Amino acid sequence: PDHTMDARIATARAALGTDVVLLGHHYQRDEVIRFADYTGDSYKLSKAAAETNAKYMLFCGVHFMAETADILAQPWQQVILPDLNAGCSMADMAEIGQVEDCWDSLERAGLTDEASGGLIPLTYMNSAASIKAFCGERGGLVCTSSNARGAFEWAFARAGKILFLPDQHLGRNTAFAMGIPREQMVVWDPYQINGGVSPDRLKAAKVILWKGHCSVHQRFLPEHVDRVRREEPGMQVIVHPECRWEVCQKADAVGSTERIIKCIEDAPEGSSFAVGTEIHLVNRLAKRFAPLGKRVITLDDAGCLCTTMYRISPQHLAWALENLVEGRVVNRIKVEDDVKQWSRVALDRMLEIS
């Protein structure tokens, strides 16, 4: 029963002591995130995972985050995802076979040759470990929403073109902010022959964007920003870079979950914000900053929910912890060694540039 969860989680945690560390992404619900030892965006949590000495890492987030923690962990550490159904629809939009087919087509078109300037694959953290390994093996790297620009600069210092996986919006927003015009970006659709892009357009492109998106952030629309401008003069609009380009163009600031929080923290009393990101974070910020005289609302009417993040419940947390107390590891996330090796290379490149 719900009312017993807090006590059961606290008891199990006390029994495990420093053997266990809880990592919580900003989109987790209140009843879960309040138990986290570390909270953060994907970048901050991957750093925490790489630095902790706890034997068990309980990841209150989604599958790709737990996989990343396992890739960065020491061999004696184990990573647990309290509910294995906590996936990410965006990460699922790039499947390794499709990405290999895409690369083969680009190779046949001569785009991977150094003579034609070269091509670097760059994947958003929100992707399977196999995609990260694919990038690592081909001289590429991983980025998060907080270091995408640095990763683009790293790649452009080594090649003329980037294949960006799997979020077309983060890729487009980042490239555009660096001064790359929209005409030099193409979208590769894995369900069409040759990605649905003509050879001429491919040759002229600087950035090839995989046709993936976040179903949560894609629900924020330019008209939501227009309405805030009309009805709430003086209110600032901050959005996550997984939002559409048209929304990001109209916003006052664009940033990762950590950056969104910092923007509000640093603003003077009396400021107000419409935020385009997941509703649990927005609601928590609204509650936290109201007593400090700052108003926070969601950018749309209803609020966008990441249903997979929401799958992690106090019940799952209690179940995973109590099994650990009994000496059983449940829902372990373990990346295969060959995949681990190359995905670690891609992640290390990211950690070096950040």
Give contact residues for ligand 13P (rule: CB under 6 A): 26, 41-43, 126, 144-145, 214, 242, 256-257
And the tokens for 297?
């609302």
| Torsion sign, CA atoms 119, 125, 131, 132 | positive
**Does 126 show up as a binding residue in the annotation?**
yes
Report if residue 278 touches ligand SF4, rule: CB under 6 A: yes
Residue with smallest beta-carbon separation from ligand 13P = 41
What torsion, rounded to 10 degrees, do the Cα atoms 226, 227, 230, 232 define? Answer: -120
What is the distance between the alpha carbons of residues 275 and 279, in angstroms, rounded to a whole number? 9
CB nearer to ligand SF4: pick between 156 and 220: 220
Q: Is 165 in the site for ligand SF4 (CB under 6 A)?
A: no
Q: Which stretch binds ligand SF4 (CB under 6 A): 96-104, 133-141, 142-150, 210-218?
A: 210-218
Coil, strand, or helix at residue 225?
helix
Q: Give least dist CB 202 to ligand 13P, A.
A: 29
Subset of 224-253 contacting ligand SF4 (CB under 6 A): 242
Residue 241 labelled as part of a binding site: yes
Binding region for ligand SF4 (CB under 6 A) out of 16-24, 146-154, 259-267, 303-311: 303-311
| Contact partner, 333, from ligand 13P, ligand SF4, none, Cβ < 5-8 Å per class | none
- To ligand 13P, the closest distance from the beta carbon of 42 in angstroms equals 3
Q: Which of 137, 132, 135 is nearest to 163 (CA)?
A: 135
Q: Which does 89 bind (CB under 5 to 8 A by kind): ligand SF4, ligand 13P, none?
A: ligand SF4
Measured CA to CA in angstroms, residue 239 lies from 124, 149, 175, 256, 309 at distances of: 17, 16, 17, 8, 19
CA dist 62 and 176 (Å) reads: 28
Tell me how far apart the alpha carbons of residues 210 and 171 are, in angstroms, rounded to a whole number.
9
Stretch 102-141: interaction string toward ligand SF4, x if CB under 6 A: ------------------------x---------------
Residue 240, annotated as binding a ligand: yes
Instruction: Determine if 33 is a binding residue for ligand SF4 (CB under 6 A).
Output: no
Residue 212 is classified by DSSP as B
Give the residue from 175, 173, 166, 179 showing the smallest Cα distance to 121: 166
